[in-house]
Structure 1
Amino acid sequence: MLKERLRGDLTTAMKARDQTKVLTLRMALTAVTNAETAGDSHHELSDDEVMNVLVRETKKRRESAEAFDGAGRTELAERERAEEAVLAEYLPQPITDDELTALVAAAITETGAEGPRQMGQVMKVVQPQVGSRADGKRISAEVKRQLSGS
């Protein structure tokens, strides 16, 4: 289970005195715990749900790094990028541009979409196939590019 892997890696990082990894994994486990206790009742998250939490936390780190860069705070941006790199070890391999292009093309054919107005139909087909392997912005940019060209 992914949550157990995170806990085990936290212990290993503590023994190795890897502060960046310790802080990042603690933050990730806290986010998982918060997700488990959110709502009316406590429930154990599945690996897919834990993966979604990690994807969300990774995206936060990326956006924070960009914001810090824009504000001229490079040392904070570097720390955010280091945390993002730690979290990336637990995410699935990102989808390649060629794979994404092929998936979007197949979805356009499947839905019969002919223009940007039908972007939502294509996104509904592509999103579940891609899962957490690509950012939503990246998927929508490719869908928009292909629908504008057809």
Structure 2
Amino acid sequence: MRTELRRGLTAAIKDRDRVAIAALRSALAAIENAEAVPVEQSQKVSGEHVAGAAVGLGAAEVERRHLTEDDVREIVAREVGERTASAAEYERLGRGDDADRLRAEADVLGGYLPTDR
């Protein structure tokens, strides 16, 4: 799914589709953030010059978490849900243009989700 999202982003950039670009960049960023390792798992030691500094070449390098396809689908579904909820709130506040934009972004991302779930 991540590959499909990236291809979609490339196509959206070529087409200058601002709504799709915003939605796809946001979803890809959410996926990247989910792969980040929590700070407490990093290898920090007390160096002589900076407290909590990592010592040695590559000492601060930590392998990112590996997400399953289900994890990625869940993240994209969450992004759709957040946009839909925010659109409803914007509509309630009388900000129809913003609500329409968020609904359009949700539609773009929803197109990448399987319909059988």
Q: Superposition pairs for residues 69-148 of structure 1, below 5 Å?
A: 69-93=91-115, 133=117
Gaps of 5+ in 2: 42-62
TM-score, normalised with respect to structure 2: 0.75
Cα distance in 1, alignment partners of residues 96 and 113 from structure 2: 25
Between 1:79-88 and 1:34-43, the stretch displaced more is 34-43
Q: CA deviation at 1:38?
A: 4.6
Partner residue, 1:50: 72
| Identity level (%) | 39
Report runs of 4+ in structure 1 exceeding 3 Å deviation.
none
Partner residue, 2:28: 29
Partner residue, 1:4: 3
Task: Identify which of structures 1 and 2 has the higher relative contact order when contacts are C-alpha pairs closer than 8 Å and 6+ apart.
Answer: 2
Cα distance in 2, alignment partners of residues 38 and 92 from structure 1: 28
Number of equivalent positions? 94
Q: Over residues 122-142 of structure 1, what are the superposed CA-to-partner deviations in whole Å (9 max), with x where a residue is unaligned?
A: xxxxxxxxxxx3xxxxxxxxx
Partner residue, 2:17: 18
Cα distance in 2, alignment partners of residues 76 and 16 from structure 1: 22
Gaps of 5+ in 1: 95-132, 134-150
Higher helix fraction: Structure 1 or Structure 2? 1
Cα distance in 2, alignment partners of residues 87 and 38 from structure 1: 25
Query: What amino acid maps onto 1:4 in structure 2?
Result: T
What is the aligned-residue RMSD (CA, Å)?
Answer: 1.3
